[in-house]
Structure 1
Amino acid sequence: MKTILATAKAPAAIGPYSQGIKSGETLYLSGQLGIDPATGKLAEGVGAQTEQSLKNVRSLLAEAGASVEDVVKVTVFIADMEDFPLVNAAYSKVFTVNPPARSCVAVKALPLGGAVEIEVTAVVR
């Protein structure tokens, strides 16, 4: 059985997908761009987009009764690998203790011209 996760504290899906799914004890969050849900616009700059993306992730986790401590795997997509240090700096402020497993992949482009997109998998008990 799966439960659809949705919150107005993160941007609405911009396609035929859910913000997140809870199946059993596992949360699967769709990739979050650095979009401010209040304005519907991307934050300015890679660092700010990363911070907003992670804020959106935290909002979805909270909707499911979880937190960043429950995250077991993160995938970071960036449009330019040169931005990795900026992304990593913002990321390290959120995952400070016992960070989850992570992959970082440079992609040709992201939706809406975003610089970074972050998806996570978490386990809640």
Structure 2
Amino acid sequence: MVFQQNIPHRPQSHRLGTKPLVAASLTMILAALLVDFDSLTTVFSSPTTLGQQSDCKTVVSNEAQLSREQLATLLTIPERDAKTRVRQVVSEPYCQLPTLKIRSGVDAEREAYPLAFDPDTTLVILYENDEYAGYRFSFE
């Protein structure tokens, strides 16, 4: 004997159609058009070496190097902290790199620090309006 349970009638799902797909596509295309690819390629370009003097706008200190301890302390400083706090840890840079415009209307300053324990690696620190805005490593 087969028992039949009463299953409530469920409405069938309707196809959404193409409107959401078109809207999502247009949103992605608009976002891609608004991105400033020129600035992104400058920031994420291939690493520069400090041996090329043309990369440095101004050589500040030929003896400047970061120790492991300085690097470890620097990596604990949160972004948007004061530039003076970063300078307490790293002191003077090897050189200042040319400024960039990463965000509209804001000049970004960059300073390069070779690592004492890895001469082929340089730490580049980014500042915006005297605030620490981040870092990246440059590998020779």
Tell me the TM-score normalised to structure 1 length: 0.25
Tell me the TM-score normalised to structure 2 length: 0.23
Query: Counting strand residues as a fraction of each chain, which structure ranks higher?
Result: 1
